[in-house]
Amino acid sequence: MSSGFNKTLIAASISSVLAAPAVYATNGMNIEGYGPIAAGMGGASMAYENGSAATMNNPATLGLMTDGQSRLEVALGFLGPDVTAIAGPMEAKSGGDAYYMPAVGWTKKEGKLSYGVGMFAQGGMGTEYEANSFLAAGTGEAVRSEVGVGRLLAPIAYNVNDTLTIGGTVDFVWAGMDLKMAMTGSDFMMFVPAFGGGGPTYPGIASGTMVDGLAAAVGGGQITGVNWVRFDFSNTNDFTGEATSTGYGGKIGFVAKEGKLTIGGTYHFKTSLADMEANGATLSMNVNGPMVGGGPATVPITGTVKVVDFQWPATLGVGLSYQATDKVMVAVDVKQIMWSDVMDSFRMSFTADNVVSNGSFAGASMDLEMYQNWKDQTAIQFGAAYKMDDALTLRAGMNVANNPVPDAYMNPLFPAIEENHVTAGVGYKIGDNQGVDFALMHALDVTQDGGSGVTVTHSQLSWQLMYTMNF
């Protein structure tokens, strides 16, 4: 993967996270904890005041701010994934191992109302492998993926009474993607029905006039072999992918507090994003046969690519916190992330430019569907905070989740397979109006064997640092 992500804001909030496009997210494509307060406690955040990160967690917790408080937060996150793909004696290590995510936000509470505005990075995934790795499929060029989603939020929270607070956000959502993907000719044939591929037991299906033309050329003897196929649309921008789209989303939440016990819950709506689109994409085929004077020769075809109906899933979360003593607070959340509704397939269409340089493929199109069949994911997040004194607070937690990616469809370009994390954090107040919070998160090593014969190992070390000013 090749860029970075992260963090904050909602209902009495304006939190602004400036995100780099892709990040190794650790609950599927979600970051395990938004904001260093929650991240230090395993990501648990549904039922206590955890700063502007409430906008990504449960917006109703903004209503737990002190009346009259305004808060400015500036943050920096780091994601350090360690990913290796192995196929027999061959090994490829991902070069995407450091992603930085700045953030800034402001929130305010007036009476029963809390509000703000903010911008944050939601999450993503991706990898980057060298041109001489086996994943380059003999193309001699690097392969990489980068997926990023961000949000601009308008949050609000309202204290219905001394016990109940409700909140919500309206989100402007943007998404970006880079892809440099290579397949061997035999792998590509597994997508083409005319060559015996496609269907539910295969990795996907390819169709369209370009595929029909290729099949006709093979059947007519003009092409005698396909050595490899590449799809390329990528840029070097740290803040957006080559293919982009925008849309909207939102979330609602509640917090109910009675004595030492607080219960909270939230529902994050599935996004409504337009198809991501990139001009200047290239589909390249390296072939043999009379069409190319014997070959092997590479046929590059320029055109426009669309990533069809890529969405962020709905999420349901519930949790509680318990203020055991003046010094000790414990919290636990359970989240259900509905990946199966949005990650059944990765769909991409390519339309060749109608120009002479594209030869017989000018104006032709290809629809490629790669089966994903992700499962819904349950994440259990729990942690504790210990207040050493008026200035210093220590935190620790765990995040336990199932891997949503089935073995048969695990792709080393998109290894969002992390499961369990251990976390620790610290908060320190500087006088009455300032403070810093820090969290360190370690995603434990996971190994998964993919249906293509490639095994991926993935672990991660990350941190988040935030400065807060109250006024």
Cα torsion angle, 61, 66, 72, 78, sign: negative
DSSP run (H or E) holding 346: strand 345-352
How many whole angstroms separate alpha carbon 346 and alpha carbon 437? 38
**Domain CATH number, residue 87:** 2.40.160.60
Cα–Cα dist 211/368, whole Å:
10
Provide the pLDDT for residue 150.
86
Distance CA 464, CA 72 (A): 16
Q: 6 in a domain, yes or no?
A: no
Q: Answer whether residue 22 shows pLDDT above 50.
A: no
Per-residue pLDDT of 274-313, as tens digits, reads 999 999 999 999 999 999 999 899 999 999 999 999 999 9
Tokens read off for 437: 């919070």
Share above pLDDT 90 across residues of the chain, in percent, rounded to a whole number: 76
Classify residue 407 by burial, with Cβ atoms within 10 Å: 0-12, 13-18, 19+: exposed
Identify whether the C-beta of residue 319 lies closer than 8 Å to the C-beta of residue 333. Answer: yes
* Percent of the chain with pLDDT strictly greater than 70: 94
User: What is the mean predicted confidence (pLDDT) over 362-377?
Assistant: 95
Buried b (16+ CB within 10 A) or exposed e, 70-91: bbbbebbbbbbbbbbbbbeeee
Assess if residue 410 is contained within a domain: yes
Q: Residues 391-403, buried b or exposed e (16+ Cβ, 10 A)?
A: eebebbbbbebeb
Mean pLDDT over each residue of the chain, to the nearest integer: 90
* pLDDT single digits (tens) 420-456: 999 999 999 998 899 999 999 999 999 999 877 899 9
Distances (CA, A) of 356 to 301, 336, 359, 405: 10, 51, 5, 42
252-281: average pLDDT: 97
Residue 89 located in a structural domain: yes
Within a domain: 316: yes
Residue 153 has pLDDT above 80, yes or no: yes
Beta bridge partners of 257: 262
pLDDT the model gives residue 25: 56
Q: What is the pLDDT of residue 2?
A: 36
> Whole-angstrom Cα distance, residue 102 to residue 75?
6
The band of 31, judged by pLDDT with boundaries at 50, 70 and 90, is confident
- Lowest-confidence segment of 71-80, 362-371, 396-405 by average pLDDT: 71-80
Confidence label for 7 from pLDDT (cuts 50, 70 and 90): very low
Beta strand ranges found along 185-219 (DSSP E) = 204-207
Decide: 129 and 144 in contact? Cβ < 8 Å: yes
Cα–Cα distance measured from residue 200 to residue 190, given in angstroms and rounded to the nearest whole number:
11
Position with higher pLDDT, 258 vs 119: 258
Q: What is the DSSP letter of 298?
A: E
- Considering the domain boundaries, does residue 151 fall inside one? yes
Q: Could you tell me which of 240, 176, 253 has the C-alpha nearest to residue 13?
A: 253
Kindly state whether residue 148 falls inside one of the protein's structural domains: yes
Sign, CA dihedral 357-361-364-369, equals: negative
Query: What SS3 class is residue 442?
Result: strand
Q: How far is CA 151 from CA 135, 157, 438, in A?
A: 33, 18, 23
What is each CA distance from 394 to 79, 109, 442, in whole angstroms? Answer: 22, 26, 17
Residue 87 has pLDDT above 60, yes or no: yes
Q: What is the pLDDT of residue 439?
A: 97
Q: Where is average pLDDT lowest: 106-120, 121-135, 267-281, 302-316?
A: 121-135
Q: What is the pTM of this model?
A: 0.90
- In angstroms, rounded to a whole number, what is the distance separating the alpha carbons of residues 423 and 400? 11
Domain around 294 = 14-470
**Residues 126/149, Cβ–Cβ less than 8 Å:** no
Identify whether 238 is part of a domain: yes
Beta pairing, strands 328-337 & 377-387: antiparallel
Check whether 55 has a pLDDT greater than 60: yes
The residue-averaged pLDDT of 357-382 equals 94
Lowest mean pLDDT among 135-144, 232-241, 312-321: 232-241
Number of folded domains in the chain? 1
pLDDT category of residue 240 using cuts at 50, 70 and 90: confident
* pLDDT band at residue 148 using 50, 70 and 90 as cut-offs: confident
